[in-house]
Structure 1
Amino acid sequence: MCNPSIFRLALCLILIVTLGAAAERPAYAYHTSSDLAETAVTSQEWDAILQRDAGAETQTEGPVLQTQSSPVSYKVRSGDTLYRISRSFGIPVETLLTVNGINDPGSLQAGQQLQIPSEQTGIDLPGGQEGIIRQVLTSTLTAYTAGVESTGKKPSHPEYGITYSGSKAEEGRTIAVDPSVIPMGSTVFIDGIGVRKAEDIGSAIRGTRIDLFMDDVKQARDFGVKKNVKVYVLEGTA
């Protein structure tokens, strides 16, 4: 018959070994609902953690580079109103009043220069140069080439690729215009296209329509017809 004292001693040894083995197990291996309840984070604590992390990210992030748009001015034409100018540039009348320090909207005079916040209009002139806009147009854009399909001239023609102004047509620069609307030699900023030079004319180019010169026939055809495009004619370029 087993001695009760020896039995109790053996039972204690088994419990000690079992508990010791459990203590050696990784702490993350098993969790009970009570364990999770004890480690739960309150909403206030989460807010503090998020604020701390946001502050740490702010301190470790590098400086943000600021880009500055080119300054743009508009030269008031006879008959202009602030409302008409604001619609042309797509900016509120209040913005024009504030930026230019105008107290009386009826005090505009022909030749007066108004500062236009270019960051709101998307007008970005090359090289950071300052531009004075003398005219704003709504145009229809098409494209043409130097070839037979557009000009009727073959590469063997002595005037192949030569514009009305006498310069050689160049993609990314040359446009054909109606000189009664946009004078020859004018520099224009075309919304979504960029800066171009009025160097050519065309029999189908009348009014505010503009033809963009391209080297490739397929590219010109794929360009298609783009209507209601804003065009800004710059001062002192013709």
Structure 2
Amino acid sequence: MKKKIVALTAIAVLSVGTAAQAAASSVHTVQSGDTLWSISKDNNVSVEELQAWNELDSTLIYPSQDLKVEDKVETYVVVKGDSLYKIATKHNISVDDLMNWNNISSDLIFPGEEFVLQGTKASTTNKTAQKATAPVSAPASAPVQKAPSAPVAVKAPASSTAGKEMTVTATAYTAYCAGCSGTTATGIDLRANPNQKVIAVDPSVIPLGSRVWVEGYGEAIAGDTGGAIKGNIIDLFMENKQDALNWGRQTVTIKILD
């Protein structure tokens, strides 16, 4: 936010996680106030994908413009320390369902593995993990069930940075800091959406619009920039000023999910 780069267009009328039985793609008609970022967020896709599907060479869009939106399902990328029980609890689903939807017959999971989270909406889009790292085990309390189902397909990463882990310096800011407009570089109104998890990044390191997992903060959108945010430095949006002060400056591990 630090300065709003461009006022584009957007209202999001399509829902996240379209069912597999739906059409292969749909059309979003741009409304006044829409931005590519807001459309991508509401449809669970990336800005880069929207640009590729619609052959856009910039982020400029216009009211009444029709944009093609491919159907996608909600997924989760396993990070170090995860277990089936932890993932299922976080997304308010059962371990049995998670295993059935992803053709899992063991409680062993691996960092980098991608799971679908929507049952019949999942179709066959699960990503088979590159099992080069140590497995992550579910706690004893997590039930294990064999789930013979159809094989799943490998899904290519959304960008060359997807799955990348790095150590960064993280500071924190609020929407009411001195000189702040409350609107991010990608058009997110933080004052209207105080619960939104957004981080300011150096776009040459972390592409804007990426989903990023941040140690101690959780999953966030790389939706802002800043003059002091260069290289391996990020700035975390927090609704409460005291929370931002309490965070201070920390060295944390992050992972770019897509």
TM-score (norm 2): 0.39
Give the structure with the larger helix fraction: 1
TM-score normalised over the length of structure 1: 0.42
